[in-house]
Structure 1
């Protein structure tokens, strides 16, 4: 791997266009203003002190600008990763304690390590195990859990942490009598302000406006005396380099969460990165993105942060504000660094209700009803994975929910593979094309010949189903002077040992029925397996280039073609003895 490929900044920095400086500065300042309150809010969601969210928004953002390939992706704390962090750490340590903070940094290092292993191993395809529909269902359920976890801040009540969503709902209902009226009014007003600003002045960072307004309200009206809880004193120190405690027991407890955060975080990040890469006509490298996000998480763990990834909303704002290169992220990190150095005393009066409102409004858009309808319209069976992900996450919790969703998604795939699509083909009049007779009723079927297409790899998953299907089609053949089954293999891109065994059994059973089997349009990888298994020789003379040639060979039996290679049937040079080769090509 070249140094420029490992560090993309060496490429774009040398070619930097000075005309991009102003929009990059504007975007960097905008995201910085947005990330300061969001970083603190998401740290609160993760059970961490507010400054940890700011620390996770400085060095990791700078590191991604060095290693990442997306020009618009805004890296930092996000809601789902924050919730996953809290879910993993809360059973192990008291929220906000030194052990909890150290474990959050350790988790960031572990997440970074998983990213780096996948990236350097070119294993980015692993994230494909989480399908789009499953991710939509999981994200919607996580958004509900996240939003409801902030209800206590809106009502000003204290609740015990519960492992399951329904238990959290029960706990809030039990404590609702202790609602602080002033806090509730402040929380509802905060949500209203954010929603209205997003609708009428979307370019203005509503979260920053809310932070300033709520701090002023607390100070001017002495709201702390009325029971309104604030974040309290925030240290004005820079994030210090240091290694967390590498406790083997803690690491063992967090390894599963590290993989889940990697899977979910990278899916969210790469999805939004690709959207803006297409929009601006450049490419993002999935494996390099793994390396960039891995380095960012390692940096976060070494500098007092917690796991980070690319976020949907901030990236959208970053692009809207004009970001053209990763310089915008560098500007963002510098702004947050200056905030930590000089402005943190101003945040001591920031009410928790305002931060809770920021989180609630941010996650509302994660419940994408429109996308759910689109999935249902495009492929209704994908609703199975979506629904399982949604229900399992709400009932079982974040980590078990995503695991069940992935397994369900894979089972749906196996179910589709076990009963692949097939079609009986007929000839389109006046052509040599064979098409599905159900879709093209005008297609004609030759008496005594059945042409069947299988649209899946022939493997252990579907071998018995395909065998039953083909034998059934052979039994349905009627009329004609000859009886033959032609299998169009254009949809079969692979065949395993079980598939070979099933095909061998089909040959034997069709011979007993006195039905000839012919294959056509056999792909190279399948031809290789058939040769090694001996089936190619058993089918000598019954393998053809197209369905039309196969039917013609059945209805007009004649000599073998002069060259299988010339017809695209066999890439090898013809090695048959000269006395078996006739110079007369078949009627095909």
Structure 2
């Protein structure tokens, strides 16, 4: 674990005293821009998660402040996201009625558990563990989640009340049974929102598209009550700061939510670290992955007690922070404070937003999640990783979302082990020597393949060029000893040439240096 010092306990003290009046003013303006973007997004994501709209705002306040102050990235802005929201909904909706107090309590408990998992990873310096969720898994999950999110909003777009289902396939089947009952006014309003939003994204990408479309839709419903008077509106709420929320910490519930908490916690870390690394490369900042992971964990641990559901890095808000010239993480802190101000003073405005328009906006958000360029690049670079991406996407559509993440991770590990289980071996004869140049580690997955290659040799002296062998485990050590003894019974020898000191040391441990049947050459 990291040694406790000021840098670990209060890392913001390393950069906060360096801020000037000009930099603070700049960050306040950048934070205002981020808040304008975050307000409609947070409300939309809360609805995706099956929560009342105010919980989206709560998730954009306390968790964001903690993640910014305790993290290491200058520009990473956290908060509720579409992918995390749909996983939470899929995980908890079978256990309680969405929007109910029991449901809210379970969502916050899952957030707390995911935060504890993230914090422990950071404290144990297991930041590299997030790398096991490969980029191809993230691409496939995001593509599948985009379809699930869009499909989940189609009933709202059509003005239908359809019960939610655990998988996308079940949702589609249920939707097809009720599709003829659609409301033309709701559909027209939702489609108009989609088309206007798509046009603004194309021609005015820097404008706050989501905010503009929702304001126009609200004005349309208000101005034409004889046409849209029956259209459902977003539920209003009492304006206040995030309230304290006690968590249902009984053992049975904790154990039931734990697998989902691990999956969604890992997904949040992968998303956050990917964004942070990308922006750090562009800003030439040194990033501390373990500190960032600890910050993500703390933000969700304390955020859950302050009514904030699980947050992670936001692509759009982090990109805006960088492009707008944020000087420090204070930009994210100011963004959260602006959102808090709105949560207190502007909550009544939420009740004027029509649900079909919000559904149309969420459909646009889900389309924005699809990384078409990344998918095409993946196909060009690696068909195996493209298969992992496709498998994860299909699993996302057919299975519960947390299960799909595990399926994608297992598929990535399968292809990785398959690739590393056949290390590169170049083989040639040099007089009475038969030389095998091995490029890769000799571990349990690769030892059988290399053993077969050794058993097919015919040279009097079998030599392994070992300078590229970085690691050998017990299975590899035992296999090489076994093959060396087999060769000795036929009057032949096994020699490792130019092996690393660490590899030689491991090979001599098995039977002692004096009894080692393997020869070594520099």
Tell me if both proteins adopt one fold, taking TM over 0.5 as the criterion. yes
- Equivalent positions of 1:73-84 (< 5 A) are 73-84=76-87
Whether 1:48 aligns to 2:25 is: no
SS at match of 2:215: helix
Taking the aligned partners of 1:137 and 1:310, their CA distance within structure 2 comes to 18
Whether 1:453 aligns to 2:456 is: no
Taking the aligned partners of 1:540 and 1:512, their CA distance within structure 2 comes to 11
| Displacement after TM superposition at 1:224 (Å) | 7.8
Aligned residue for 1:526? Answer: 503
Distance 1:67 1:79, change over 3 A: same
Aligned residue for 1:502? Answer: 479
Taking the aligned partners of 1:506 and 1:66, their CA distance within structure 2 comes to 57
Which of 41, 61, 64 is the equivalent residue of 1:58?
61
Contact 1:124–1:287 (8 Å) recurs in 2: yes
Whether 1:205 aligns to 2:189 is: no
| Displacement after TM superposition at 1:198 (Å) | 1.7
| Displacement after TM superposition at 1:518 (Å) | 2.1
More helix by share: 2
Distance 1:485 1:110, change over 3 A: same
Which of 54, 69, 73 is the equivalent residue of 1:70?
73
Aligned residue for 2:452? Answer: 468
Distance 1:65 1:216, change over 3 A: same
Whether 1:184 aligns to 2:187 is: yes
Taking the aligned partners of 2:379 and 2:41, their CA distance within structure 1 comes to 33
Aligned residue for 1:563? Answer: none
Contact 2:84–2:268 (8 Å) recurs in 1: yes
Whether 1:491 aligns to 2:468 is: yes
Distance 1:542 1:225, change over 3 A: closer
Q: More relative contact order in 1 or in 2 (CA 8 Å, sep 6+)?
A: 2
Which of 356, 359, 363 is the equivalent residue of 1:356?
359
Taking the aligned partners of 1:219 and 1:281, their CA distance within structure 2 comes to 49
Taking the aligned partners of 2:115 and 2:101, their CA distance within structure 1 comes to 21
- Equivalent positions of 1:425-440 (< 5 A) are none
Taking the aligned partners of 2:517 and 2:299, their CA distance within structure 1 comes to 59
Taking the aligned partners of 1:167 and 1:17, their CA distance within structure 2 comes to 55
| Displacement after TM superposition at 1:223 (Å) | 6.7
Unaligned runs of 5+ in 2: none
Whether 1:249 aligns to 2:258 is: no
| Displacement after TM superposition at 1:321 (Å) | 2.0
Taking the aligned partners of 2:519 and 2:446, their CA distance within structure 1 comes to 24
Taking the aligned partners of 1:39 and 1:172, their CA distance within structure 2 comes to 26
User: How many corresponding residue pairs?
Assistant: 519
| Displacement after TM superposition at 1:513 (Å) | 4.2
| Displacement after TM superposition at 1:226 (Å) | 4.4
Whether 1:152 aligns to 2:155 is: yes
Q: CA RMSD in A?
A: 2.0
User: TM-score w.r.t. structure 1 length?
Assistant: 0.84
Aligned residue for 1:261? Answer: 264
- Equivalent positions of 1:118-157 (< 5 A) are 118-157=121-160
SS at match of 2:357: helix
Contact 1:217–1:223 (8 Å) recurs in 2: no
| Displacement after TM superposition at 1:457 (Å) | 2.0
Taking the aligned partners of 2:110 and 2:118, their CA distance within structure 1 comes to 12
Contact 2:167–2:399 (8 Å) recurs in 1: yes
| Displacement after TM superposition at 1:145 (Å) | 0.9
- Equivalent positions of 1:398-417 (< 5 A) are 398-417=401-420
Cα shift readout 1:495-539 (whole Å, capped 9, x = no counterpart):
222222211221233234443332112112111112212475466
